[in-house]
Structure 1
Amino acid sequence: MTNDDLRETLEDEGLADYAEKLVSASKLCTQFVSVRDKATAVAIGSSKIGGEPDLPPDFPWPERDSRPMSFIAQIQLADGTSSRTDLPLPSSGLLSLFYDTEDMPWGYDPKHAGGAKVFYFDNDTPLSRRKTPEALEDEGWFLECHLEAYETITLPNYQSSEFPADISDDVFGGYFDLQSELSQSGHQLGGYPAVIQDSMELECQLVSHGLYCGNATGYNDPRAETLQAGVADWQLLMQIDSDDNADMMWGDCGRLYVWIRKQDLAEQRFDKTWTILQCY
């Protein structure tokens, strides 16, 4: 979908008065559809969800609390994926996501730090397929699926600071349906998240600075007002949905949302991400 396509669609939904604002606020992203193909293994260094990861030979398997973390997905940026987002990502290389599937940290507690880890390997790094540790063989591993990528445009959730506050109630339903339709594929790189519960930028900012957000405690903390200025720095890096093809389920049909600050992304500090789990 191009900006012209989006503008036309907004007009068809009765949102002509807000079209320019929404086109300006829209974000380009890459969405992925999983394909389970038992007969064809995913090539080393290619995008996939589940299965066994491709890692450098001397790279230690990621751990948390001395336990191996589960491999979730890897995304190859060299196939044009990076250019199909608004994020300043490297033009090539592999982004790999691991998560603590035993504790399933939701991301609302500072103690959840390290519950998910993102690694970046440039294309000069030799990679080989790594066998899953025995400790994860019974649980904590997922079926390998190819990821088919396509470019799309996403729109802000109504709770987002980018959402036009003057949208009238009589056209809000049409906007909500369109925004949901554009976010229908749950695996995503960049763009706006397909939010299940509430917006997450403030939560990322507060929790990553040590404030507990499992209830109102962190939001009411005197430090929260000062930290508010950094909320706009957070942007979605990737989103991983529950996926039947991969036998992957996050809570009750939930999603993992991996966030990163603009400053950290510019420096390729993928170790500075914060991950939140939301479900229905």
Structure 2
Amino acid sequence: MKEDFELPEGFEKHRAILKDTIKECIHIHTEKASTGTFDSKFGGCPYFPKGMSYPLNQEGNPLKLLAQINFEQVPQLKNYPETGILQFYLDPSDDLHGCTFNENTEQKNYRIIYHDDIETDESKLVSDFSFVKVEDDMFPIESEAKLTFTKGTQIMPAGDFRFGPLIGVDDKYENAAEFERYYELYDSLSHKIGGYPGFTQYDPREYYHKDHTEVLLQVDSDDAIDIIWGDCGVANFFISEEDLKNKDFSKVLYNWDCS
């Protein structure tokens, strides 16, 4: 992001502070297409070694792949893996998509799995996932999409729970027009890794898990590849910086909201 980035007039006094919030992110680009076993993807079938326990929901039913990120295909981002495959599974029989909202990181009806060492012999991988059943309209993605990635930068959006305290504003509604303009300039709704999240309502981390500052993955609603979260919402997966550095994905916060 250029140093002469645009700001609403009332935010000019905060330029130096906001400049310091600029951080790198990975923009995710999608194409509706069939994918290979090792590809980064939304939907489709996962890379999964035989003999490994497949993720199940609380009732013992299989979860379904939402997203697979092969970090060998992703530009390097500080603290994020450089290799390995990270997967996001959700409950395909739950109209809340496995989410309990706000406070839960227990992964009872969703699961984050990281494969550090990749088995390249496909005869040792599961090839038939017909055992995964999806109930009608119970999964946010209907199609399969191949992913590509580019690195960019992002400034902290106004919807981030840290934004108001950062610039010394307790009540955004006292400056509603200025904040609305800033929202428009730096809307953070998109598919991404890293950077800052976007929301259609509010940032749940203001109340729970304030240490989960890193965006592990954001998946937006996207008509082009048949993804929908409720009424055109967005899903976020958050992780603490320390857990990210340690490749510990056991306490990932999952949330989605819609208008």
TM-score (norm 2): 0.80
1:276 aligns with 2:255: yes
Q: Which moved more, 1:47-56 or 1:236-245?
A: 236-245
The alpha-carbon deviation at position 24 of structure 1 amounts to 0.7
The alpha-carbon deviation at position 101 of structure 1 amounts to 3.2
- 1:76 aligned to 67, 70, 74, which one? 70
CA 8–273 in structure 1, closer or farther in 2 if over 3 Å, else same: same
Say what the alpha-carbon RMSD is for the aligned residues.
2.7
Unpaired segments of 5 or more residues in structure 2?
none
Question: For residue 165 of structure 1, what is the aligned residue in structure 2?
Answer: 167
Question: For residue 108 of structure 1, what is the aligned residue in structure 2?
Answer: 102
The alpha-carbon deviation at position 16 of structure 1 amounts to 4.2
The alpha-carbon deviation at position 194 of structure 1 amounts to 0.8
Supply the distance in 2 between the matched residues of 1:136 and 1:145 (Cα, whole angstroms): 19
1:144 aligns with 2:135: no
State the SS of the aligned residue for 2:150. Answer: strand
State the SS of the aligned residue for 1:270. Answer: coil
Supply the distance in 2 between the matched residues of 1:174 and 1:19 (Cα, whole angstroms): 15
1:20 aligns with 2:16: yes
Q: Which has the higher helix share?
A: 1
Please tell me whether the aligned partners of residues 221 and 229 of structure 2 are also in contact (alpha carbons under 8 angstroms).
yes
Supply the distance in 2 between the matched residues of 1:166 and 1:203 (Cα, whole angstroms): 19
Supply the distance in 1 between the matched residues of 2:204 and 2:22 (Cα, whole angstroms): 18
- 1:244 aligned to 216, 220, 223, which one? 223
Question: For residue 58 of structure 1, what is the aligned residue in structure 2?
Answer: 51
CA 78–110 in structure 1, closer or farther in 2 if over 3 Å, else same: closer
State the SS of the aligned residue for 1:18. Answer: helix
State the SS of the aligned residue for 1:263. Answer: helix
The one-character-per-residue Cα deviations of 1:65-85 (angstroms, maximum 9, x if unpaired) are: 20111210111111243x2x4
Supply the distance in 1 between the matched residues of 2:23 and 2:207 (Cα, whole angstroms): 21
Question: For residue 10 of structure 1, what is the aligned residue in structure 2?
Answer: 6
State the SS of the aligned residue for 1:240. Answer: strand
State the SS of the aligned residue for 2:72. Answer: coil
Supply the distance in 2 between the matched residues of 1:203 and 1:114 (Cα, whole angstroms): 21
1:131 aligns with 2:134: no
1:42 aligns with 2:35: yes
Question: For residue 255 of structure 1, what is the aligned residue in structure 2?
Answer: 234
Unpaired segments of 5 or more residues in structure 1?
206-230
Residue identity over aligned pairs, in percent, reads 22
Total equivalences in the alignment = 241
Question: For residue 213 of structure 1, what is the aligned residue in structure 2?
Answer: none
Please tell me whether the aligned partners of residues 196 and 215 of structure 2 are also in contact (alpha carbons under 8 angstroms).
yes
1:153 aligns with 2:153: yes
Supply the distance in 2 between the matched residues of 1:166 and 1:264 (Cα, whole angstroms): 29
- For residue 95 of structure 1, what is the amino acid of its counterpart? L
Question: For residue 179 of structure 1, what is the aligned residue in structure 2?
Answer: 186
State the SS of the aligned residue for 1:55. Answer: coil
The alpha-carbon deviation at position 51 of structure 1 amounts to 1.1
- For residue 177 of structure 1, what is the amino acid of its counterpart? E
Q: Which moved more, 1:140-149 or 1:191-200?
A: 140-149
CA 252–106 in structure 1, closer or farther in 2 if over 3 Å, else same: farther
State the SS of the aligned residue for 2:218. Answer: strand
The one-character-per-residue Cα deviations of 1:82-116 (angstroms, maximum 9, x if unpaired) are: x2x44x11211111100113222242364974232
- For residue 154 of structure 2, what is the amino acid of its counterpart? T
Question: For residue 98 of structure 1, what is the aligned residue in structure 2?
Answer: 89
Supply the distance in 2 between the matched residues of 1:161 and 1:109 (Cα, whole angstroms): 18
TM-score (norm 1): 0.75
CA 174–247 in structure 1, closer or farther in 2 if over 3 Å, else same: closer
- 2:195 aligned to 188, 191, 196, which one? 191
